[in-house]
Amino acid sequence: MPRNRVVLGLQWGDEGKGKVIDLLAVDADLVVRCQGGANAGHTVVVGGKKTVLHLLPSGILNENARCIIGHGVVLDPIALCHEMDDLLAGGSDIAKRLVVSDRAHLVLPSHPHLDKAQELAKGAAKVGTTLRGIGPCYTDKAARSGLRAGELIDLKAFEAKLRAHLKASNVIAQALGAEALDIDAAVAAYLPSARRIAPLVTDSIRILHEAMAAQKSFLFEGAQGAQLDLDVGTYPFVTSSNTGIGGILTGSGLSHKQLGSVIGVVKAYTTRVGSGPFTAELTDARGEALRQRGREFGSTTGRPRRCGWLDLVIVGYACRLNGVDAIALTKLDILDGEKELPVCIGYRLDGEVLEGPPARIEDLARVEPVYQTLPGWSTPSTGARTFADLPKEAQDYVRFIEKRLGVPVSWIGTGAGRDEIVVR
């Protein structure tokens, strides 16, 4: 039987999904992105060489895998062409094994423009988006006014629709206090990339179902993380897609019976980019130290990531909501040398200890973390390859996580490189 796997981020994104996907892709015939867009930044480090993928599935380094951009993804042709060119410069012609769903919505020039205008209009209440046009694109999708990749089959008709769309969007941009987009310039900048990706566009649902029937093995690559989910994350400080198992289902067109096991990626501490409550955040020198040691700067925007202790309240919540079978714990090495490791195991709100995050953002901003403090370790875990190689306290840290969550930790990251991992 083929082994199908889903990889999901269980925190606020940037958990190290790229590394885990790259590792698991050796067994996969197909690697499938199902939601999000170029807001994602998935890092793969092989032989000291770093590659950051935004729209392309992180399984591309497996030359035998077919890469699918499913219909739940919002696709920016300009960003995709940049990424394909970067890989081409490195000697890999991904276009030969890349499929783009004809139902995937296109990020149009109006979308980043509106993203910026909306953020500016929100002022201090801004989401802190990646400004890649994600929210406005999904808004158009839900409003049934978007344009899909399938439209690229007739570029002339597409151009007319694009112009009409940009004209309508300019009214909204101006209402938000932004300048109107120069439509001729935007169309001229967009069409060459649109033309280039048009031959890759096809019915991905058919391809996925045929591959399933042929017993091929699948790796589904989640983007963002559970707390950025549009429905169950820290709304409104979230992205505009479903980042959990639901997004994999609706964004691929396969049935839940076909998805296989669910691997949740968890960083050994917590980071967040952008605005919104972060219960276990460290705003002092310890947070800064984690940021420096962990090189916690955004893979997409370069912004400094906010850092804090491991929060098992949100990770437990994500495990329950997504049916997580196993955890890949990343960046354990970054905790080397910490004397003590507080782990958040509860949220206290008005005298009551909650097991999951409250829905109202005002309540979430008020919760106090309940910590259990574990001893740190002084010998390095960096580069460890077996569980027994890890310092005893690091082993205990892992066992504590497993026990609290009731989910096995099957991979432990001890460095950024592909082979710097403990497989249990």
Rounded CA gap, 289 and 285, in Å? Answer: 6
Footprint (CB under 5 A) of Mg ion, residues 266-325: 299
Query: For ligand IMO, which stretch binds (CB under 6 A), given 12-20, 78-86, 286-294, 334-342?
Result: 12-20
- 135 touches ligand IMO by CB under 6 A: yes
CB count in 10 Å sphere of residue 383 = 13
Q: Smaller CB distance to ligand IMO: residue 41 or 369?
A: 41
Of 9, 59, 277, 357, which one interacts with ligand IMO (CB under 6 A)? 9
In the complex, what is the shortest distance from the CB of residue 414 to ligand GDP, in angstroms, rounded to a whole number? 6
Size, binding site for ligand IMO by CB under 6 A: 24
* One character per residue 41-80, x = contact with ligand IMO (rule: CB under 6 A): xx--------------------------------------
User: Quick one: 127 or 319, whose CB is closer to ligand IMO?
Assistant: 127
Name, in order, each residue with C-beta under 8 angstroms of 365's C-beta and a sequence gap of 6 or more. 277
Cβ proximity to ligand IMO: between 9 and 244 the closer is: 9
CA distance 88 to 271: 32
| Residue 318 binds to ligand IMO (criterion: CB under 6 A) | no
Which option in ligand IMO, ligand GDP, Mg ion, none does residue 135 bind, with CB closer than 5 to 8 A by kind?
ligand IMO
What is the dihedral angle through the alpha carbons of 355, 357, 360, 365, rounded to the nearest 10 degrees? 110
Nearest in space to 291 (alpha carbons), one of 273, 311, 279, 266:
273
Write down the catalytic residue from 14, 76, 115, 140: 14
Is 234 a residue that touches ligand IMO (CB under 6 A)? no
Between the alpha carbon of residue 406 and those of residues 254, 280, 372, 409, the distances in Å are 28, 21, 17, 10
Partner touching 130 among ligand IMO, ligand GDP, Mg ion, none, CB below 5 to 8 Å by kind: ligand IMO
Are the C-beta atoms of residues 416 and 47 closer than 8 Å to each other? Answer: no
* Binding partner of residue 228 among Mg ion, ligand IMO, ligand GDP, none, CB cut-off 5 to 8 Å per kind: ligand IMO
Residue 42 annotated in active site? yes
Residues in contact with ligand GDP by the rule CB under 6 A:
9, 13-19, 41-43, 45, 299, 330-331, 333-334, 413-416
DSSP H stretches of helix in 274-391: 285-293, 312-322, 361-366
**Which is catalytic among the residues 42, 71, 105, 113?**
42
User: Which has the closest alpha carbon to 53: 29, 101, 19, 28?
Assistant: 19
* Token representation of residue 303: 């912004």
Q: Is there binding between residue 22 and Mg ion (CB under 5 A)?
A: no
> Contact region for ligand IMO (CB under 6 A) — 6-14, 61-69, 77-85, 391-399?
6-14
**Which parts of 123-181 fold into alpha helices (H)?**
134-142, 155-175
Instruction: Return d(Cα 138, Cα 234) in angstroms, integer.
Output: 18
The residues annotated with a catalytic role in the active site are 14, 42
